Structure 1
Amino acid sequence: MVRKKSTLSKVRTRTEAYKRKQHAHSDASHFRNQLKTKSKIHILDKYHNNLDFRNQYKARSKKRVSKKYKSDPMIRMKTIERAMNWYHKNNTLMRQNSRRLYNQRRRILKKYISIQNHKCIYKQSNLYMNNLNKFRQVIQEGPDYVCISCQLALFRNQVIPFVEEKYITQNMSYEIKKHIQSYFMYSSSREQKWICKSCSDKIKKRQMPSRAVVNRLKVCEIPSELKRLNNLEKHLIALRLPFMKIVNLTSGKLSSRFSQKGTKGPLHCVPSDVEDTVTTLPRPVDKSMMVRLQLKRRLKYKAVWEEQLINPNDVRDALFVLIKMHPGYK
């Protein structure tokens, strides 16, 4: 009997322990469910209210899905199959009408764009013709109007009648009057005199016109020593040698001589020591002695950029003239 009682007590204690354990487990699961629910609600609130968190969450989800799609071929096939099934299942009458309207809108928009382009081209052509007609009216007389200050032959719209009282007033001193009168190249003829607008504006401000004759902007004659030089001789006495690749910008029947040119690639300006170059030339026996010379970009290069016969005596004479005239050679 004692043994039976001890066995029953053990069973009872085990049962009570099991019940307590079950009760604790049920309490823990209930607590876990509550915690999950609260965390879900918290995350949802944060997702709807916090913009930064929402963007980060979307980026993470997109990255995770994209990674799965690229790495797992099964997921990729399932995604494609799901999209195709959705497309075929949702091919209802309403969706067909929406697609038809979308295509119709695209056709109308394309037609409208083509019409607008045609109108724009027509408008531009009209504008071009109007400007061309105006230009023809302007140049109908020709550049027959000579400025009294710069002596340039200009068109009628570029000049105004010359009235001396506009530029010389009675309040001016004698020196200023004489100074302003020096800008005008008076002639003995009684024809109407003209002055260009740029010279007129400058003289009204009591400034010398930049292109007036008294400004000494005459082009000097090229000395004979420089005229008789060929291309290679000119390069020998040049302070800087520009190296560039020149190509024809137009192609077709037009010859390369008359076609428009352009540069391709980098442009290199190489400084040249003219004194060393001229002193290294051989001394000629007579004035008519010619020397064959090759010009390279660098001495170590094999390619020759230009090869020609030169006269060392002409090169030295031209250099002496440049030393007298040009400040860069002094």
Structure 2
Amino acid sequence: MSIRKYQKNLLHREKVKEMSVSKYRRDMLHREKVKEMSVSKYRRDMLHREKVKEMSVSKYRRDMLHRQSVKAMTKARYYGNADHKKRVLAANKVKRQQLKEKAEQFDFVMEQFLAKVKDGPEFVCCVCHRLLFRHQVLNCKRDFYNKNEAVASFADKCITEVYLHKCNKDCEKPCQLLDTARGCLWICYNCHGKINKGIMPPECAINSLKVDPIPPELACLNSLEQHLISLNIPFMKMLALPKGGQNGVHGPVTCVPANIVQTSNVLPRCNMEGSLLRVKLKRKLTYKGHYEYQFVDTMHVRQALQYLKRTNVHYKDVEFNEAWLNEFCREEGDLGKDTDGDVESGKVDCEDELLHDRQQHCMFQDTCLMPVDIGQEMLDQYFDDILNLAPAEGNSPVKLLSDHANEAKCFPVLFPQGLNTYHESRANRLTLSRYFNNRILHADGRFAHNVEYIFFAQYMSEIEQVVSNVSIALRKGKGCMSQNVPDNKVNDMLKNDESLKKLLEFDDGYRFLKPIRGTPAFWQGAQRDLLACVRQLGVPTWFCSFSSADMRWTNLLDSILKQEGRAQTAAGLEWADRCDLLRCNPVTAARMFDFRWHVF
């Protein structure tokens, strides 16, 4: 009867609990008896033991004061009790010996490997806002930086809680995100060391690296619409790689200024939502091939340009034709119609004609039986009018390293206000490689999801490495003519036949390309490293190659879902959804493969 009343009557239950706690505190004999019973039940009942362990671990993770109290008690007992210290040391010695024996078992090694690669790059540094792995971060404790006023002031400025999850009314109870990496504040070792020394980390968000939120006017644009509103268009030959669904790039990246005023005047205006127009973006109107071919919502383009006119510093002086007197189509004779007679006679660049085929398939597969793109073939048959646009025709490419506004002009969606690019003035100097590292690994994800920005950053980094190495290449040469050369004599030396002969003889002409992957100097260094390994270690007996089985790595897919703030798991995704998830997150997929390789 008492048990039934305890289970049903809530007031009676609380009253009994209060009386029990009071008696436990007052009565010493009762306390010892309860402890003895608890210990006995813990030893006998396996389910009770697991439940107590789970509750203890959960409380240790959640309650900071309880965690510190447990640590203090453990340390005090270890240093205060000699017998306990001996038992701990002996247990650790036995444990190390057991691990050494288990390391020879394949199942144990496999279990250890899977445990290490379980967590992906889902830990956000509260200072530089980069997504990092667990071994690259530690728990951020603000009290740790209260050593002196300088360190405390830097910590207050740099440490932010932008990506720390805080429960609100929309969260489910219990909130699942509190047990993930977003439920705790983390800091990377680099930022931790800089703040400890009283120095602001160069990658800190307040060092002109803050990202502005993308407004709805820009977030709804597809890739072609983004190119139509860009002041500079980054042209690059992107290839669809044969396997994996990822993209590659061939050749250089060329940024050409675009006439967005003319583009805005040519596009027809319609106030109806969802009115689509087929548009081909070309490098030159006389080319048959196109750089990009998609449906364009002219209303979205107009709204995006109006927003950029109000907020972006690079669009302030741009004047648009609000009355929309479309003079270009009439003067140029309907150049927007895609007909068989709109191509002028002359030499057509074959490489540009077949660019679309190469982009989609990485090889030429057009036959008389099957078109290259069946879906596009059907669209071409049922739609007559196609608008051809070449906003960058007739303009000269810009210098990538000299034009300080080029990055913001090429990617206005990523930089809605045109600020905080690489050439922004900063209190702490930041190198180009560290800047792009911060951008691509940023927790916001906008840079990592933009494939064009990734290839743009790669090309910029390579150009910067080449330029920086050229300045010292002649001073480190082997020939007598290439050593101790003053700056004002470099041009004269390059015009001298004997000096050029020396450069070619000692391979100084391309040695500065060694840091760039894929160059002859790079592969020459790789060959010498391989021969050195053979001389030191002997001839290898077997070779092995590794490939990425990313579709089978559930931890990779779960990590991407956590980055996007989704509560799903990889088990509930279809095959097509997995492919799209990996295709949209090439940076995370590449980082996970590299991490698994190094752990292996």
Shorter-chain TM-score bucket reads: 0.3 to 0.5
Q: Who wins on radius of gyration, i.e. which is larger?
A: 1
Question: Normalised by the size of structure 1, how large is the TM-score?
Answer: 0.42
Higher strand share: 1
TM-score w.r.t. length of structure 2: 0.26
The structure in which a higher percent of residues are helix is 1
Larger RCO of the pair (alpha carbons < 8 Å, separation 6+)? 2
